[in-house]
């Protein structure tokens, strides 16, 4: 077991969005080593078919497993929604944690009126993974799912506050919250799940548009908590001593990964810290 403890946690995402999960994980478990793979050559996953996303996810996992990891975090909502079974089949000995289930649990815990809105990419919403995960925990919860594809482009462009993101947030979110008012069951969601790792960057704009009492569930923190729980259960936690190292891998353009990564991590990431890999 001693050897397992000291192995890094592997994480992958289609790009830089999952760095919001990495940041939360590092805050929760600062001693752990982490290897992060951003499959930027093939992003976005959100517009691709479930079959393609599953194939890419297994390829990402292979790269991480070959480097030796003790647990795999799928830090991408699209892949968490469609590829967990494929990953568990491919690597039955590696515990796999996605971002959907922790987010669904947090939403059910937060909502007092059993009405939850979920915003995500087109394929995450169409795949219905959040809807299923929330209903399996709380069958009576009313869920409104809505794709918000432009939020991804806004986060990557760095347009995270000001007029444009608020106008986009208003166009996406007002119908969701109005729709609830006009419905036969006049329950406005009291909880909003950010079902895409890019979306935490848009929180300031979102907060300016919706009722400030709405609870915003960002799956990064909830996933970090789930990883902590799983490592504790398996006795795979590293000794709490010093700071872990983080390694960054990308499938395309290390300079761009570093530039965008800095935005998502909130701390400087240099190009030489990012390794280019071919899957």
Q: Which sequence positions are flagged as catalytic? A: 76, 196
CA atoms 111, 114, 115, 120: torsion sign: positive
Q: Which residues of 259-271 are buried (b: 16+ CB within 10 A; e: fewer)?
A: ebbebbbeeebee
* Stretch binding a copy of itself (CB under 8 A), from 77-85, 99-107, 157-165, 201-209: 157-165
Question: Which position has the token pair 């000291």?
Answer: 6
> Toward a copy of itself, which CB reaches closer, 148 or 192?
148
Backbone angles phi, psi at 195, to 5 degrees: -90, 25
Under the criterion CB under 8 A, does residue 163 sit at the interface with a copy of itself?
Answer: yes
Site for a copy of itself in 174-233 (CB under 8 A): none
Task: Yes or no: say if 26 and 34 are a contact pair by the CB < 8 Å rule.
Answer: yes
Under the criterion CB under 8 A, does residue 167 sit at the interface with a copy of itself?
Answer: yes
**Cα–Cα distance between 179 and 187 in angstroms, integer?**
9
> Toward a copy of itself, which CB reaches closer, 171 or 208?
171
Q: Out of 23, 26, 48, 238, name the contact with a copy of itself by CB under 8 A.
A: 48
278 CB-side CA count, 13 A? 0
Under the criterion CB under 8 A, does residue 41 sit at the interface with a copy of itself?
Answer: yes
Under the criterion CB under 8 A, does residue 149 sit at the interface with a copy of itself?
Answer: yes
The footprint of a copy of itself on this chain (CB under 8 A) covers a number of residues equal to 24
Under the criterion CB under 8 A, does residue 171 sit at the interface with a copy of itself?
Answer: yes
* Of residues 60, 23, 25, 22, the one with CA closest to residue 40: 60
* Stretch binding a copy of itself (CB under 8 A), from 166-174, 189-197, 209-217, 238-246: 166-174
**Cα–Cα distance between 60 and 62 in angstroms, integer?**
5
Nearest distance, CB of residue 64 and a copy of itself, angstroms: 21
Residue 44: cis peptide before it, omega within 30 degrees of 0: yes
Strand-pairing partners, residue 192, are: 117, 216
Question: Which position has the token pair 């003790």?
Answer: 70
* Stretch binding a copy of itself (CB under 8 A), from 25-33, 44-52, 218-226, 227-235: 44-52
**Cα–Cα distance between 207 and 165 in angstroms, integer?**
11
**Cα–Cα distance between 54 and 59 in angstroms, integer?**
9
Under the criterion CB under 8 A, does residue 118 sit at the interface with a copy of itself?
Answer: no
> Toward a copy of itself, which CB reaches closer, 116 or 120?
120
**Cα–Cα distance between 178 and 188 in angstroms, integer?**
8
* Stretch binding a copy of itself (CB under 8 A), from 2-10, 45-53, 110-118, 217-225: 45-53
Binding mask 247-276 for a copy of itself (x = CB under 8 A): -----xx--x--------------------
Task: Yes or no: say if 12 and 97 are a contact pair by the CB < 8 Å rule.
Answer: no
Under the criterion CB under 8 A, does residue 47 sit at the interface with a copy of itself?
Answer: yes
> Toward a copy of itself, which CB reaches closer, 38 or 103?
38
| Residues at the interface with a copy of itself (CB under 8 A) | 40-43, 47-49, 52, 149-150, 152-154, 156-157, 159, 163-164, 167-168, 171, 252-253, 256
């Amino acid at each position: 077991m001693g050897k397992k403890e000291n192995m890094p946690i592997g994480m992958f995402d289609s790009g830089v969005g999952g760095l919001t999960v990495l940041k939360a994980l590092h805050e929760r478990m600062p001693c752990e080593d982490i290897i992060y793979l951003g499959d930027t050559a093939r992003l976005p996953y959100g517009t691709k078919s479930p079959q393609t996303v599953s194939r890419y996810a297994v390829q990402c996992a292979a790269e991480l497993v070959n480097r030796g990891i003790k647990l795999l975090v799928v830090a991408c909502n699209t892949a968490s929604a469609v590829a967990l079974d494929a990953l568990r089949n491919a690597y039955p000995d590696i515990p796999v944690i996605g971002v959907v289930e922790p987010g669904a649990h947090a939403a059910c815990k937060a909502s007092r009126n059993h009405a939850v809105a979920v915003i995500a990419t087109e394929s995450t919403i169409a795949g219905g993974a959040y809807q299923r995960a929330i209903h399996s925990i709380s069958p009576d919860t009313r869920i409104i799912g809505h794709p918000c594809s432009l939020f991804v482009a806004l986060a990557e462009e760095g347009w995270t506050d000001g007029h444009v993101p608020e106008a986009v947030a208003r166009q996406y979110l007002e119908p969701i919250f109005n729709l609830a008012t006009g419905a036969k069951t006049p329950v406005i969601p009291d909880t909003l799940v950010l079902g895409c790792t890019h979306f935490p960057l848009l929180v300031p704009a979102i907060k300016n548009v919706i009722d400030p009492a709405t609870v915003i569930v960002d799956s990064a923190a909830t996933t970090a908590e789930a990883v902590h729980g799983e490592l504790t259960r398996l006795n795979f936690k590293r000794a709490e001593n010093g700071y872990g190292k983080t390694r960054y891998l990308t499938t395309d353009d290390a300079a761009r990964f570093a530039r965008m990564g800095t935005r998502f991590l909130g701390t400087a990431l240099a190009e030489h810290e990012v390794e280019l890999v071919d899957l």
